[in-house]
Structure 1
């Protein structure tokens, strides 16, 4: 019997017919100071080679760099388990990836799945990005450029995402804690049939804010359910992406986000609860309902890029309670504006938007004003009771309907003046 065959047989024996691969049974030590990337990756690879199974992280703290899951492999973290990310970017290889609406070379995430159908990550344990070093470096870099009168992009300080899933169908993230990402927390690209349920997603606002730590980024994805999750991050809680630039809507790597349901979630601090943009060409059929919010940021945010053709349509936000900064924030978004030499004049179309049963307190009701050529059709705010320090809604469009909406126990007032 060859050594290779003997090794495979031992793996099959230890993993109960190739079902559960408990990493400590294969030489992985629970030592938060010892980098275990190679030994954990060996477990993933062997699980794949013997026909698949679930890689199990038992109670303990396990330090690792980027891990790559293979077809027919899954990940489960048991109670008390912590998969802790290395804070050395050298432990995350530079590979083909997707960032900020562009297909580029970028650093691997802590957890990676490329074309792994039926991939799942289950809790109740934790994946901890250990992002403090990356956050401090980011703010130091930004401050140094600001002192020179220069602007920094999000990509100049190299940081890993926590989870990146590309080209996969039938994805489940259930009951897992996703904390302290160095960059975006959960990024799904070109995936279909996604369930994110019962997850606890956090990155701090203080004492050191976790920059660009988006909770869930949906990028060219269809048929998504986000349910019973808690999200509190130092950027957008849930962000609808898909591409940017004057020709983004024509490129095959970009596309639509379609059929998204967000329900029974609790959102803590965030830059916004549900954001469309800043890289999105087409988001449609998105429903958020029965959610509790506690932050000082927009409930629904539309970033209107003047360098990108955008369509945001068939969006419903219903039965929202708690505290927000504003109900709706629709404004031009010119960060890193770039027409790439094109003579095109992109514009956005926002249509069939309904906010209903919005019973919250807020700083202001909000703004509905895009770029000069943007179009708004059939935008409704109905059956809502709002408490607001600034009780007016600034709106410049004709096809906006307000029905049975009170602010501070009085009918909502529209302010049609431009900025």
Structure 2
């Protein structure tokens, strides 16, 4: 035990911090520096006609730049068709204004390689841009990187208009169940299997080749790299996740635009997985899945890796279409901690602040600090913590039916996930389905969450289930369709101070469940509701105290 304590103290001392303008003690991130030596891809035979495949020419430029000590591989204006390329140490791939790096639809150009997908070791098609064990690498400039993802992705009929669906089906591919379009039979074979890409001894090359189209590549994957810079560039139309730094350190993402169709399956913006010391600032995301997402591996694989995503700064970012603006999980089995999010705007994101996990993950999410968040037109929850994640879109499609999860108390072990010690302040939301939703599991409550100084305009109010140590301080919940402003089920140590709410609510607070206790409300106007408190389903009236 003594050695472990000493190790943790030494580790804490080795992390460099600086005092930010907001008073947070922020981690310092080391940026790469590149030699000002130019390697234009035209020198190596690249042709910008959108037809000629330039893979070899671009890779030659990268290889020579690396071999000579590094510099700038310059991509001039033009339409540059290419297959997958590999970045190497000390190389900055710089796209000038008017330059589009377009990755080919020809899937034969993408060899199958061992990689990682959704937190597990898997066989994948090689990513359009990748690097492994590299340091001092960058993608900068003002150009566009296009992954040609439409050639790879499944599309749900419900997400298209009738004419769009008709056009897509006429283009070829395979239609399953009348409402799922898939690009090929190879994709359809993989879709019918459980984790077909997962690496295992009984699967040979022929097997993976038979489902090759299903093993979609992420657009940019940097694995075990240090000192990464992504700046100024537009990353768009990925087959799966757009940006995927994996087990990497000292990452700077600045002034980029990440764009995927809103219906893009798994079309995440950026997924930091088991990464440390990261700065993401002044960037825009308009994508088909989660936008700014923190991950650290899935289930037993993530716990065995034991590498949390930590020491992350996110500021000045804007998110449009997405399943979540800022997101933790659901693959967070190695933990997520020390994350600082400020001055971000979410417009039209399904959920604003989204924390998701499920039994089996394990992992601890803690020490997350969020402030100055501005939201508009949120179809789901402004703020959500959910430990019953079901791997579905957060907003049900038309006609889709969903059942509530079965509530049962299970033993606590290494597979039990945890959300704790999270501070959220200055959140302003104009339009959401629900203001706040907190749902833990009976054996492991969501714990120690402080939400303060916020104004949330929504249809429904606050829903707290299986939670402990929840504090709402100076929170205004203007819920237009809520009979109950705050609903609490089987939760304890909930403190509400300075709550403001809309006229028309029947009940200020409803408490239910025989495990609900120690609920306190103070500095709140009780005159504008018909009933202050209702207790039911085993909650004693003494469990709720009004002051």
The TM-score bracket by the shorter chain reads 0.7 to 0.9
- Tell me which of 295, 313, 329 is aligned to 2:384: 329
Aligned to 1:49: 67
Aligned to 1:417: 489
Asked if 1:288 is matched to 2:306, the reply is no
1:272 and 1:298 in contact (8 A); partners too: yes
- Tell me which of 357, 360, 381 is aligned to 1:307: 360
1:154 and 1:212 in contact (8 A); partners too: no
Aligned to 2:39: 21
Q: What do residues 23-80 of structure 1 show as CA deviations (whole Å, max 9, x unaligned)? A: 1122110121221112211221122222222111100010111101122222000000
Aligned partner of residue 347 in structure 1, secondary structure: coil
Aligned partner of residue 398 in structure 1, secondary structure: strand
**Cα distance, 1:363 vs structure 2:** 1.7
Asked if 1:188 is matched to 2:242, the reply is no
Aligned to 2:439: 369
Q: Distance in 2 between matches of 1:247 and 1:184?
A: 20
- Tell me which of 261, 271, 290 is aligned to 2:313: 261
Aligned to 1:130: 148
Q: Which has the larger radius of gyration?
A: 2
Q: Distance in 1 between matches of 2:195 and 2:174?
A: 10
1:246 and 1:344 in contact (8 A); partners too: no
Aligned to 1:62: 80
1:221 and 1:256 in contact (8 A); partners too: yes
Aligned to 2:449: 379
1:18 and 1:51 in contact (8 A); partners too: no
1:123 and 1:174 in contact (8 A); partners too: yes
Aligned to 2:373: 320
Q: What do residues 56-106 of structure 1 show as CA deviations (whole Å, max 9, x unaligned)? A: 110001011110112222200000000001112221221221111112232
Aligned partner of residue 61 in structure 2, secondary structure: helix
Question: Could you say if the C-alpha distance between residues 141 and 289 of structure 1 is closer, same or farther in structure 2, counting changes exceeding 3 Å?
Answer: farther
Question: More displaced, 144-153 or 230-239?
Answer: 144-153
Question: Could you say if the C-alpha distance between residues 108 and 131 of structure 1 is closer, same or farther in structure 2, counting changes exceeding 3 Å?
Answer: same
2:156 and 2:179 in contact (8 A); partners too: no
Aligned partner of residue 368 in structure 1, secondary structure: strand
Matches within 5 A, 1:108-119: 108-119=126-137
Aligned to 2:497: none
Question: Could you say if the C-alpha distance between residues 345 and 264 of structure 1 is closer, same or farther in structure 2, counting changes exceeding 3 Å?
Answer: closer
Matches within 5 A, 1:80-229: 80-136=98-154, 143-144=176-177, 157-205=214-262, 209-229=263-283
1:135 and 1:182 in contact (8 A); partners too: yes
Q: What do residues 96-148 of structure 1 show as CA deviations (whole Å, max 9, x unaligned)? A: 21111112232211111111111111021110111112125798768449889
Aligned partner of residue 79 in structure 1, secondary structure: coil
Aligned partner of residue 305 in structure 1, secondary structure: coil
Structure 1 spans left out of the alignment, 5+ residues? 1-16, 337-342
Number of equivalenced pairs: 392
Q: Aligned Cα RMSD in Å?
A: 2.8
Question: More displaced, 368-377 or 181-190?
Answer: 368-377
Aligned partner of residue 135 in structure 1, secondary structure: coil
Question: Could you say if the C-alpha distance between residues 277 and 143 of structure 1 is closer, same or farther in structure 2, counting changes exceeding 3 Å?
Answer: farther
Question: More displaced, 405-414 or 64-73?
Answer: 405-414
- Tell me which of 398, 407, 412 is aligned to 2:477: 407
Q: Distance in 2 between matches of 1:96 and 1:393?
A: 43
1:363 and 1:389 in contact (8 A); partners too: yes
Aligned partner of residue 472 in structure 2, secondary structure: strand
Q: Distance in 1 between matches of 2:144 and 2:293?
A: 22
Question: Could you say if the C-alpha distance between residues 26 and 214 of structure 1 is closer, same or farther in structure 2, counting changes exceeding 3 Å?
Answer: same
Q: Distance in 1 between matches of 2:443 and 2:193?
A: 28
TM-score, with normalisation over the residues of structure 1? 0.86
Q: Distance in 1 between matches of 2:154 and 2:242?
A: 17
Structure 2 spans left out of the alignment, 5+ residues? 1-34, 158-172, 181-187, 198-210, 393-411, 491-511, 513-547
Aligned to 1:351: 420
- Tell me which of 49, 65, 89 is aligned to 1:31: 49
Question: Could you say if the C-alpha distance between residues 246 and 131 of structure 1 is closer, same or farther in structure 2, counting changes exceeding 3 Å?
Answer: closer
1:89 and 1:159 in contact (8 A); partners too: no
Q: Distance in 2 between matches of 1:263 and 1:396?
A: 31
Q: Distance in 2 between matches of 1:273 and 1:238?
A: 6
Aligned partner of residue 82 in structure 1, secondary structure: strand
